[in-house]
Protein backbone atom coordinates (compact mmCIF):
# COMPACT_ATOMS: atom_id res chain seq x y z
CA UNK A 1 0.00 0.00 0.00
CA UNK A 2 0.98 3.60 -0.53
CA UNK A 3 1.18 5.36 2.82
CA UNK A 4 1.91 8.87 4.03
CA UNK A 5 2.94 9.08 7.67
CA UNK A 6 2.24 12.32 9.47
CA UNK A 7 5.14 13.92 11.35
CA UNK A 8 3.62 12.89 14.69
CA UNK A 9 4.10 9.20 13.78
CA UNK A 10 7.46 7.87 14.96
CA UNK A 11 9.91 7.87 12.03
CA UNK A 12 11.04 4.34 12.93
CA UNK A 13 7.72 3.14 11.54
CA UNK A 14 8.85 4.02 8.00
CA UNK A 15 11.50 1.29 7.78
CA UNK A 16 9.29 -1.34 9.37
CA UNK A 17 6.41 -0.64 6.99
CA UNK A 18 8.78 -0.58 4.01
CA UNK A 19 10.21 -3.93 5.13
CA UNK A 20 6.65 -5.28 5.01
CA UNK A 21 6.41 -4.19 1.36
CA UNK A 22 4.63 -0.85 1.67
CA UNK A 23 5.52 2.35 -0.22
CA UNK A 24 5.97 4.87 2.59
CA UNK A 25 6.64 8.59 2.81
CA UNK A 26 7.02 10.51 6.09
CA UNK A 27 6.11 14.20 6.30
CA UNK A 28 8.91 14.68 8.83
CA UNK A 29 11.30 14.61 5.86
CA UNK A 30 9.57 17.61 4.27
CA UNK A 31 11.37 20.97 4.60
CA UNK A 32 8.39 22.48 6.46
CA UNK A 33 4.94 21.53 7.72
CA UNK A 34 2.41 22.82 5.16
CA UNK A 35 -0.55 22.27 7.51
CA UNK A 36 -3.17 19.57 7.82
CA UNK A 37 -5.24 20.58 4.79
CA UNK A 38 -2.26 20.43 2.45
CA UNK A 39 -1.00 17.15 3.94
CA UNK A 40 -4.42 15.57 3.38
CA UNK A 41 -4.61 17.02 -0.15
CA UNK A 42 -1.11 15.71 -0.95
CA UNK A 43 -2.04 12.23 0.28
CA UNK A 44 -5.12 12.32 -1.95
CA UNK A 45 -3.17 13.51 -5.03
CA UNK A 46 -0.55 10.81 -4.49
CA UNK A 47 -3.07 8.05 -3.72
CA UNK A 48 -1.68 7.50 -0.22
CA UNK A 49 -3.43 6.42 2.96
CA UNK A 50 -2.64 8.94 5.69
CA UNK A 51 -1.36 7.48 8.98
CA UNK A 52 -1.58 9.90 11.91
CA UNK A 53 -2.09 10.33 15.63
CA UNK A 54 -3.99 13.56 15.02
CA UNK A 55 -7.80 13.64 15.12
CA UNK A 56 -7.85 16.87 13.08
CA UNK A 57 -7.60 14.93 9.81
CA UNK A 58 -10.79 13.03 10.59
CA UNK A 59 -12.48 16.31 11.41
CA UNK A 60 -11.37 17.70 8.05
CA UNK A 61 -12.73 14.63 6.30
CA UNK A 62 -15.98 14.26 8.22
CA UNK A 63 -16.75 17.81 9.29
CA UNK A 64 -15.61 19.64 6.17
CA UNK A 65 -16.00 16.88 3.61
CA UNK A 66 -12.33 16.92 2.59
CA UNK A 67 -11.67 14.03 0.20
CA UNK A 68 -8.93 11.55 1.06
CA UNK A 69 -7.58 8.11 0.16
CA UNK A 70 -8.13 6.61 3.60
CA UNK A 71 -7.02 7.70 7.05
CA UNK A 72 -5.54 5.46 9.73
CA UNK A 73 -5.49 7.12 13.15
CA UNK A 74 -3.45 5.54 15.94
CA UNK A 75 -4.57 6.38 19.48
CA UNK A 76 -2.78 5.72 22.79
CA UNK A 77 0.04 3.46 21.60
CA UNK A 78 3.71 3.89 22.45
CA UNK A 79 6.10 4.73 19.62
CA UNK A 80 7.43 1.17 19.73
CA UNK A 81 3.91 -0.22 19.17
CA UNK A 82 3.01 2.00 16.22
CA UNK A 83 4.45 -0.24 13.49
CA UNK A 84 2.68 -3.35 14.72
CA UNK A 85 -0.58 -1.44 15.08
CA UNK A 86 -0.28 -0.07 11.54
CA UNK A 87 0.45 -3.50 10.10
CA UNK A 88 -2.45 -5.08 12.00
CA UNK A 89 -4.90 -2.36 10.92
CA UNK A 90 -3.77 -2.61 7.30
CA UNK A 91 -4.06 -6.40 7.35
CA UNK A 92 -7.59 -6.27 8.76
CA UNK A 93 -8.94 -3.16 7.09
CA UNK A 94 -6.71 -2.43 4.10
CA UNK A 95 -9.60 -2.76 1.67
CA UNK A 96 -11.67 -0.37 3.80
CA UNK A 97 -8.81 2.12 3.85
CA UNK A 98 -8.37 1.90 0.07
CA UNK A 99 -12.13 2.56 -0.18
CA UNK A 100 -11.51 5.84 1.72
CA UNK A 101 -12.60 4.74 5.18
CA UNK A 102 -11.29 6.22 8.39
CA UNK A 103 -9.88 3.52 10.66
CA UNK A 104 -9.12 4.32 14.29
CA UNK A 105 -6.82 1.93 16.13
CA UNK A 106 -7.13 2.05 19.91
CA UNK A 107 -5.91 -0.44 22.49
CA UNK A 108 -8.27 -3.40 22.26
CA UNK A 109 -10.24 -2.30 19.21
CA UNK A 110 -10.28 -1.06 15.63
CA UNK A 111 -13.13 1.23 14.56
CA UNK A 112 -14.03 1.72 10.92
CA UNK A 113 -15.96 4.67 9.55
CA UNK A 114 -16.80 3.86 5.92
CA UNK A 115 -16.37 6.53 3.26
CA UNK A 116 -19.20 8.98 2.85
CA UNK A 117 -20.96 8.57 -0.48
CA UNK A 118 -20.18 11.39 -2.88
CA UNK A 119 -22.99 13.84 -3.52
CA UNK A 120 -24.45 13.58 -7.00
Question: Does residue 120 have a pLDDT over 60?
Answer: no
Q: How does 48-68 read in b/e, with b if 16+ C-beta sit within 10 Å?
A: bbbbbbbebbbebbeeeebeb
Question: For residues 8, 14, 15 and 17, what is the CA-based torsion angle, rounded to 10 degrees?
Answer: 120
Question: Does residue 99 have a pLDDT over 70?
Answer: yes
Q: Please answer whether residues 5 and 14 qualify as being in contact, where contact means their C-beta atoms are separated by less than 8 angstroms.
A: yes
Question: Does residue 119 have a pLDDT over 60?
Answer: no
Mean pLDDT of the chain: 94
> Which of 19-23, 32-36, 100-104, 116-120 has the least mean pLDDT?
116-120
98: left (phi over 0), alpha (psi -120 to 50) or beta: alpha
Question: Does residue 58 have a pLDDT over 60?
Answer: yes
Average the pLDDT over 55-81 and give the result: 94
- Sequence-distant (6+) residues with CB within 8 A of 100 are 67, 68, 69, 70, 115
Output the pLDDT for position 118. 65
Nearest to 72 by CA among 1, 20, 5, 118: 5
Amino acid sequence: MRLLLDTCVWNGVVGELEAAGHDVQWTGHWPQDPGDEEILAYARREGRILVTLDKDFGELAVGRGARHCGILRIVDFSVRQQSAVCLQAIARHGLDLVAEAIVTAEPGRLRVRPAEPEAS
